[in-house]
Structure 1
């Protein structure tokens, strides 16, 4: 069994590294920047529970182009959402239709894009609930908890279950992946707010004013989903419908409630913050932007998420990394215009 990770950045390197540590043959395809890092330092994966595995540079089969897809039995697609069509083109050029294609990406439409561009391939939807951040020295660290989710389809998903379970990575098969993905999207609306703050996730979430912005974005997202007839589902300890209320609690109460809901270590930050730091296009169009687009389709407004999209786009255009907006500045910029609207 050979697994190829297409789009091996933070998430892809973490998933691939976990599988490789369990004895699976893994090849990685990604950017030259990551290839340079792996060539110099090798690859290390770690997580908040204490996982720590390292591979020497010569043990990591990392490529810039897609030739290694020829031998793939399973292809894990972890590219940014804006690159999904291009990834499908690469798969179609090199891979055999017998290879199972799995989307472990943000957003709700990537599997559909892959299916539309890969006739004859079996494509499964997946979901990653945890955060992975790139750290110095070729280390990719998961700083939050959660199990992977994979679409239950025929028996195709069983090989994925066996591989990740064998690697000590929790994974659950679900037949309602569309609801799972929308639920995850709503819970991920903080990614953009964290990127705008420039802080570690834990530090940001301990500030009640930041949390009020997250609460407003999440509540608006849930309202839009309800208008569209989409019912969020529970995918872990967190009940999506309760999140806006928990976020507005005073700090002492929030800390007590939230600590029982989700584990976050001190180093965790959103991948969107990394994108700004590296001058890359973010996935805000596929997170907060999806709420804005869905709102327009069902005839409701989404001013909070629309304003957050505007702020991220401005930060991207500025090219100076995170704007490091204070909690008060973000609150004023996002919520006061939203109230007026």
Structure 2
């Protein structure tokens, strides 16, 4: 199959290398040093899926009309990247591989002739250098769209992608997106103070703020009529119980999540972006909670404060003291 991958970072590079390995014809988009490295030496993948060097076609924009497109940019770059490739992409099946809630809607707006799906990837991968990707944890990804059944297109595309990496078509994709958003609340606090998730959950004040951001996210989702999907050991029943519990009792949920997933040394994708001097996805993570809260007639003060603090770190170029993050209201 002719496959175009927009964005050859950690996840884009992973999918490109693994799809190339099983025989698909892959073209990726990249820029700057990344583009030069891929053209010179290919995408070099190491880690959980084995060592792969994929000599894929790479350009700033797609040059061949694809049958299937994976949009793997950071959420804040998706609209511009899709628009730049619209002439060749519109009409193809498009899979948006992104955090947040808005990626599929953005793709559908820009590509009216395409069938657009979302992919929730739990693969842990690090874009360790130009053309270099290291996968620290392999995992099954979930593919779907909207609130209903996965549909035949999702089933078919999941089968294609599963030739390279495990993908399952899932019903009620929106509910799974919301659970992933809850999980992604782990990103902001360690990014602001420059520590690992293990250090966050070991610090009572930082853990309380992390828990409060998750609390807000779940309560906003409930107000928006969400039935949470099962993901990372979290499900609708457990998250509703979490939302109704006191903040002190609820701290076990993020602590258990970090322990269950083995994330004690993980710094999160937001902190990785900060360390590379790149803009973060914070407006599409905690910022999404704030926007959804406004739509529900609610406030999300903890998440709003965390968004502001991450942007402050982006501007300053260094972490903030822990006391800036404790007891946000």
For the criterion TM > 0.5, the same-fold answer is yes
Contact 1:131 1:270 in 2 (8 A): no
Match of 2:190 in 1: 194
Matched, 1:333 2:329: no
Contact 1:204 1:210 in 2 (8 A): yes
Match of 1:38 in 2: 38
> Alpha carbons of 1:93 and 1:179: their partners in 2 closer, same or farther (altered >3 Å)?
same
Q: How does 1:9-24 map to 2 (within 5 A)?
A: 9-24=9-24
Q: How far apart are 1:250 and its partner, in Å?
A: 11
Deviations 1:187-217 (A, max 9, x none): 1011222322333445555555433322121
- 2:227 alignment partner, one of 225, 228, 231: 231
3-state SS of 1:189 partner: helix
RMSD: 2.8
Instruction: Output the CA distance in 2 between the equivalents of 1:215 and 1:337.
Output: 11
Deviations 1:264-315 (A, max 9, x none): 485x442222322233221111100011111122222211111100001112
Deviations 1:317-340 (A, max 9, x none): 22x2xx3345xx1xx3234341xx
> How many residues are treated as equivalent by the alignment?
318
Match of 2:53 in 1: 55
3-state SS of 1:143 partner: strand
Deviations 1:213-255 (A, max 9, x none): 221211121122122222322124234627788973499xx57
Match of 2:169 in 1: 173
Contact 1:46 1:142 in 2 (8 A): yes
- Give me the TM-score of the superposition, normalised by structure 1: 0.82
Instruction: Output the CA distance in 2 between the equivalents of 1:265 and 1:13.
Output: 25
> Alpha carbons of 1:250 and 1:216: their partners in 2 closer, same or farther (altered >3 Å)?
closer
Match of 1:86 in 2: 80
Instruction: Output the CA distance in 2 between the equivalents of 1:250 and 1:150.
Output: 26
Contact 2:189 2:306 in 1 (8 A): yes
Deviations 1:92-116 (A, max 9, x none): 212361x211111111111111111
Residue ranges of structure 2 left out of the alignment (5+ in a row): none
Residue ranges of structure 1 left out of the alignment (5+ in a row): none
Match of 1:324 in 2: 319
3-state SS of 1:75 partner: strand
Q: How far apart are 1:6 and its partner, in Å?
A: 0.5
- Give me the TM-score of the superposition, normalised by structure 2: 0.85
Instruction: Output the CA distance in 1 between the equivalents of 2:85 and 2:258.
Output: 41
Contact 1:13 1:140 in 2 (8 A): yes
